[in-house]
């Protein structure tokens, strides 16, 4: 173990602090030093809460010295996408406009729960403006950069979260996923990400994008850490009307259970199209390791993606209408134009999209009567170059920004839980989606753990970090 626990998993950091092999303040100072050294290149952090982190770490060390019972994440550094409220900071949500807001008076619920488990908040992370982004590029704060190749995108909109975890600045980060904003950066940056079931984790005191399918969730470099953070954040919350009242269902103790009895299938049809060779290779490695021989077709997935786009742009346009009217020039023009278009979507089209959404959810849930897990690509390709405008998919030249989430949108649209697992390829990693039925995060995490144990899925340390 390095003196400051560098590159250790969160679980091992907490164990080392509890056993007095290392102090929480040493871990925190080392993480702050890594941020200082590498953030100028990665541009993952927009706000560093150094003094708050030091105070929290000292409190953890005092608890260790007093022999108090520690939380499972005691002393573990983490950071959050800057759409989470952080007490004392304006919640910028990747925008220019929001930084004029008053400082938040209370942390987001998920920050409170992570700190209750002993974790140490180090700051806020870069993101696409108002979460309407798949690239990780930001005209206000600068682009976040991929730790495996800093000339490439992190993916978005949780680009800073992917870069911070992938680059070893923190072992854990939180992000949001509306149409793929956890799974895309996980894929591009080569880390694990969890988009839980819609309503599983509280969104209280986070800035919304599309309330009807916004999710919050964690990024990590191991499945164990993903599960630990997920367990710490579970629970109902009256401050989020969309949060479920289900009992807490911990998953960490279940990861090593045998998956031989699980019915696992590959998503066919739509999900076998629009793929670069690297995405096909990643899927092949996963299905081979799991012994998958069955294929299922998710019906009308292309139509689901279209309906997700209609609802996203309409809800987003409505949310930002006053800002669009009063401060149009303070938006990224690409974001502004899509939100303006969304604000003008005819009501009958939105109504049809919502009716289709209900039908589609019923059809997909029917599939889970005969399968437990569905495997699908997370992104069509490895991370594109920063500033890349187009790529060629199935012989057709298409815009990068709009089509990175081509395989994630039909899934988040109906709130299914997904673990994105990183498959280390040369020259860049790429992710695969492990999709389960609602509330069965445990199954998706068990499969991810089996792939990690087999060496098929891994979050490798980038060169230079």
Given the residues 81, 158, 195, 206, select the one marked as catalytic: 81
Nearest to 82 by CA among 235, 205, 199: 205
Q: 3-class SS at 420?
A: strand
End-to-end CA distance of the chain: 16
CA angle 302, 457, 433 (to 5 degrees): 15
- Tokens (6 digits) for 4: 């400051």
CA angle 323, 325, 330 (to 5 degrees): 55
Q: Establish whether 244 is a catalytic residue.
A: no
- Tokens (6 digits) for 252: 């960490």
Kind plus residue range of the DSSP H or E element containing 14? helix 10-18
Centre a 10 Å sphere on the Cβ of residue 382 and count the other Cβ atoms it contains: 23
Q: Establish whether 181 is a catalytic residue.
A: yes
Given the residues 95, 144, 176, 181, select the one marked as catalytic: 181
Q: Establish whether 157 is a catalytic residue.
A: yes
Q: What is the dihedral of CA 291, 295, 296, 300, to 10 degrees?
A: 130
- Tokens (6 digits) for 132: 């309407």
Cβ distance 412 to 213 under 8 Å?
yes
Given the residues 144, 157, 206, 312, select the one marked as catalytic: 157
Nearest to 279 by CA among 361, 375, 364: 375
Q: How far apart are CA 188 and CA 155, in angstroms?
A: 6
E-state strands within 240-336: 264-267, 294-296
Catalytic residues: 81, 157, 181
């Amino acid at each position: 173990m390095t003196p400051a626990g560098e590159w250790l998993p969160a679980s091992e950091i907490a164990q080392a602090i509890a056993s007095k092999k290392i102090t929480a303040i040493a871990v925190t100072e080392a993480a702050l030093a890594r941020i200082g050294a590498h953030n100028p290149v990665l541009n993952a952090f927009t706000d560093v809460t150094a003094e708050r982190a030091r105070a929290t770490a000292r409190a953890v060390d005092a608890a260790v010295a007093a022999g108090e019972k520690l939380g499972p994440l005691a002393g573990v550094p983490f950071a959050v996408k800057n759409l989470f409220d952080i007490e004392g900071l304006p919640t910028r949500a990747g925008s220019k406009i929001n930084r004029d807001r008053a400082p938040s008076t209370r942390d987001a619920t998920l920050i409170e729960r992570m700190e209750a488990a002993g974790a140490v908040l180090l700051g806020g992370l870069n993101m696409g403006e108002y979460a309407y982004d798949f690239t990780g590029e930001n005209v206000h704060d600068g682009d976040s950069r991929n730790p495996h190749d800093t000339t490439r995108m992190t993916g978005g909109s949780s680009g800073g979260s992917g870069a911070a975890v992938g680059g070893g600045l923190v072992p854990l980060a939180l992000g949001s996923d509306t149409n793929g904003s956890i799974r895309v950066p996980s894929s591009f940056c080569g880390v694990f990400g969890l988009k839980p079931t819609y309503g599983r984790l509280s969104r209280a005191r986070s800035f919304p994008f599309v309330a009807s399918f916004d999710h919050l969730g964690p990024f990590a470099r191991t499945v164990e850490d993903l599960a630990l953070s997920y367990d710490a954040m579970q629970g109902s919350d009256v401050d989020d009307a969309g949060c479920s009242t289900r009992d807490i269902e911990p998953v960490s103790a279940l990861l090593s259970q045998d998956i031989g009895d699980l019915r696992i299938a590959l998503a066919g049809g739509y999900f076998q199209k629009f793929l670069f060779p690297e995405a096909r290779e990643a899927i092949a490695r996963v299905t081979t390791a799991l012994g998958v021989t069955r294929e299922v077709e998710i019906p009308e997935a292309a139509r689901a993606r279209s309906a997700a786009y209609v609802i996203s742009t309409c809800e987003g346009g409505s949310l930002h209408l006053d800002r669009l009217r009063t401060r149009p020039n303070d938006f990224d023009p690409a974001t502004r134009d899509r939100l303006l278009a969304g604000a003008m979507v005819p009501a009958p089209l939105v109504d049809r999209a919502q009716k289709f959404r209900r039908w589609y959810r019923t059809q997909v849930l029917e599939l889970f009567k005969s399968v437990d897990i569905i495997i699908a690509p997370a992104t069509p390709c490895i991370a594109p170059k920063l500033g890349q405008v187009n790529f060629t998919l199935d012989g057709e030249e298409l815009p990068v920004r709009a089509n990175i989430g081509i395989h994630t949108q039909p899934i988040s649209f109906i709130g299914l839980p997904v673990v994105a697992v990183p498959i280390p390829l040369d020259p860049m990693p790429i992710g695969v989606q492990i999709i389960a039925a609602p509330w069965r995060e445990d199954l998706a995490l068990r499969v991810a753990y089996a792939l990690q144990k087999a060496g098929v899925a891994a979050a490798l340390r980038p060169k230079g970090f």
